[in-house]
Amino acid sequence: MSNSHEQSLDEDVVFEPVTEACPQFLHSESERCALECLLTGGSGAFYMQLNGERLDPFLSPEEVNQLSGWAQDYHSSQVVLEEEADYQGDGEGQEMNDFSAIYFPVHSDAPVPPLELGWPEKECWDCMGQARVYTSPPVEDAPPVREVVRKLLQGAKQVVAIVTDRLSDSAVIGDLHTVASLGVPVYIILNQRSFQENFTPQKLRHPNIRVRILGGKSFCSRDGKMVVGELKDNFVLVDLEKVMVGSYR
């Protein structure tokens, strides 16, 4: 729990006023109320709230339409986990009994993945201090990012761990199947909306591949509406030695 959270539980604490001009300004109650109007009443209610509060538009028209389309009735993370369990098959679903009901839970509501395929042990971490930058399109005499990614995956010997918002490259998926067939555990965390729209996990069925479906941050309104954001992280970890961050799309 952060210091500000602890202070908020103290009825006698007095916070210094923070204006929009302050670097510490992180939350606007007026904007939050406008967002609640968007989730409950759509774009018309959102813009009406902006006019009533004399707020400048803080969302683009594209974002307004997107959030309005993503709005849904509130539910716990159990729904997503059930979808994931259906994909994994009988006997491999996550436990649903350990969800926290306290305000500041010690553990996440989503169960920790068991990593049942194994995870290599590493006694010490060597700080090599090396970083290389690849661009798309590549600079002169540099390999394309896609080529670097594929070579990295094809050279895996111990483990491959991927977090990505979208995985649709058939050649990369083929590389994952190849290393998995060679006995290398492959763990993938995939964006929830990509799973719903593209059915990518169907292409990743393999005894040595595990796919976990997660969304981004959630916003819940007081009217029982919620919206789940996008998982936008993109990185690959190979053999606990090499990490590649970014995307070549």
Q: pLDDT, tens digit, for every residue of 159-172?
A: 999 999 988 899 99
Give the separation between CA 193 and CA 230, rounded to whole angstroms: 7
129/226 same-domain check: yes
| Helix (H) or strand (E) segment spanning residue 225 | strand 225-228
The whole model's pTM is what?
0.76
The residues that bridge with 238 in the sheet, in sequence order, are 160, 242
CATH code (residue 181): 3.30.870.10
* Residue 114 confidence class, pLDDT cut points 50, 70, 90: confident
Share of residues in the chain with pLDDT > 90 (%)? 50
Task: Work out how many domains the chain is built from and give that number.
Answer: 2
56/139 same-domain check: no
Q: Given this model, what pLDDT does residue 77 score?
A: 55
50/131 same-domain check: no
As given in the structure block, the two tokens for residue 161 are 């761990």
Instruction: Give the residue carrying structure tokens 């006997």.
Output: 91
- For residue 58, what are the domain limits? 3-70
Measuring CA to CA, how many Å separate 170 from each of 26, 93, 150, 197?
41, 27, 11, 16
pLDDT for 177-219, tens place per residue? Answer: 999 999 999 999 999 887 767 766 678 899 999 999 888 888 9
Q: Please give the order of strands across the beta sheet that includes 186-191.
A: 209-214, 186-191, 160-164, 235-238, 242-245
Q: With contact defined as beta carbons under 8 Å apart, do 68 and 38 qualify? A: yes
**37 or 12: which leads in pLDDT:** 37
Give the separation between CA 26 and CA 15, rounded to whole angstroms: 14
Averaged confidence pLDDT in the chain: 83
Residue where a domain stops, chosen among 16, 37, 70: 70
Residue where a domain stops, chosen among 43, 70, 97: 70
Phi, psi for residue 235 in degrees, rounded to 5: -155, 160
